[in-house]
Structure 1
């Protein structure tokens, strides 16, 4: 798996909400803003599934997803691609439930994002693959 360096994790951590892109099995794209998420480690981000009906259907048929983050202070942007798993029990699910409970939301499942590729989307970088 690919590891996110600290400078990339910092940019992602500042992005609220975070755009979360999926595609159905035919490739039709869908993007939503996700407000409940947490960086678990250098390779993994947890997202809380709350009311993501289209997103969940897409994930069930195609686990490839992407996020993008931008830090306006330092003018840096990164796109991160990966795959996801859905968890409805265990420690990571409990983290998702606790996050949802704090916002009085449903917290249906934990979407576990595994980082596979990182691109520099900063102006002038031309989408250069970093990892």
Structure 2
């Protein structure tokens, strides 16, 4: 069964590759690509993101999670270079990278649609990690 894929983008190669490793343990049947760092340093690169997106793109779609604003800019450029219609088969999730990716991989693993996977990721914005009064 084909599942929605995830693309993880960070300014750090180590962050997204470590997160990808964690998510592969949680749900090994979901295709996950990581694009992090630029030319051996921090940053993002639209061409690296494009290559990662191509490697996991399927008819079920891709949810893209990212860390900082310029990662979004480069991801949008990569989607444009591929001629994909973001919002149809590619959705950018406005979510915290780690928590959002974890929720997304669980939803993708149970066969959720691209919209459901993105919604699961975005629902983590409301996650309270420590219970109690502040």
Give TM-score scaled by structure 1 length: 0.28
* Structure with more helix by fraction: 2
